[in-house]
Chain A
Amino acid sequence: GDSVTQMEGPVTLSEEAFLTINCTYTATGYPSLFWYVQYPGEGLQLLLKATKADDKGSNKGFEATYRKETTSFHLEKGSVQVSDSAVYFCAHTGGTSYGKLTFGQGTILTVHP
């Protein structure tokens, strides 16, 4: 069935470090891929998305590339800030026509000054 697997966390980094959060998926059809972020005390927000193979989504310095051959959508940022501390969720639509999302379990990121 459809699923998303994220790297186990939590992840703790120093400010300005490089960030990678791995995400792999299984899906029927041709899903769209998403990264959502949940800041402390706030709701889920879309961070970036990619709708077809080899597309790169980017926002706020974060990037992720849709890799169909490896069924992956790893999140990267070259230099993290304390304000990036949050929970990050990878998700996909599983090829449905209306966009039902299947989420990973989330990765907690803590960035220290």
Chain B
Amino acid sequence: DTGVSQDPRHKITKRGQNVTFRCDPISEHNRLYWYRQTLGQGPEFLTYFQNEAQLEKSRLLSDRFSAERPKGSFSTLEIQRTEQGDSAMYLCASSFPTSGVTDTQYFGPGTRLTVL
């Protein structure tokens, strides 16, 4: 079990540029989540995949944000035309549904985005 991995760990970009982050979940996990965490706050839900299907998106996920999970394995989160307000830690989590019991989400180390 190698855990959830995210790449890159840090990204510095200029306002207006596009950025893409990758998440590799734990191999047998079919549920994948993206969250955003700003300084001094708890993570906020962005979107959720079951296998390759994106089943829910938060209102926080503006039109500039898009997420994919093309083969039901890794996922990418793209932010177009970045703004300074996008600066945050982007967290990925994965889980495997256990019948009758709420599954536990395992979090990756996050990608810290700084928009200059």
Partner of A4, one of B42, B95, B103, B108: B42
Q: How far is the CB of A103 from chain B (nearest CB, A)?
A: 3
Q: Is the CB of B45 within 8 A of A100?
A: yes
A24-78 contacts to B, CB under 8 A, are 32, 36, 42-46, 49, 51
A sample of 29 inter-chain contacts (CB < 8 A) reads: A32-B102, A36-B107, A43-B107, A43-B110, A46-B104, A46-B105, A49-B102, A49-B104, A51-B101, A51-B102, A91-B42, A98-B31, A98-B48, A98-B56, A99-B95, A99-B102, A99-B103, A99-B105, A100-B33, A101-B35, A101-B93, A101-B105, A103-B42, A103-B43, A104-B42, A105-B40, A105-B41, A106-B40, A106-B42
Contact string against A for B residues 27-54, beta-carbon threshold 8 Å, 1 for contact and 0 otherwise: 0000101010000111111001010000
Interface size class of B (residues with CB under 8 A): 20 to 34
Shortest CB-to-CB span from B97 to chain A, Å, is 8
Known: A43-B91, A100-B48, A106-B41. 13 other contacts (CB 8 A): A44-B91, A44-B93, A45-B107, A46-B104, A51-B101, A98-B48, A98-B50, A99-B105, A100-B33, A101-B35, A103-B44, A104-B42, A105-B40
B72 within 8 A of A: no
Question: Chain B nearest CB: distance from A66 CB in Å?
Answer: 12
Main secondary structure of the interface of B (DSSP, over half): strand
Least CB distance from B105 to A in Å reads 6
Complex Cα distance, B43 from A102, in Å, reads 8
The 3 closest A-B CB pairs, nearest first, are A103-B42, A32-B102, A44-B107
B110 vs chain A, min Cβ distance (A): 6
* Count of chain A to chain B residue pairs whose CB atoms are closer than 8 Å in the complex: 57
- In the complex, residue of chain A having the shortest beta-carbon distance to the beta carbon of B107: A44
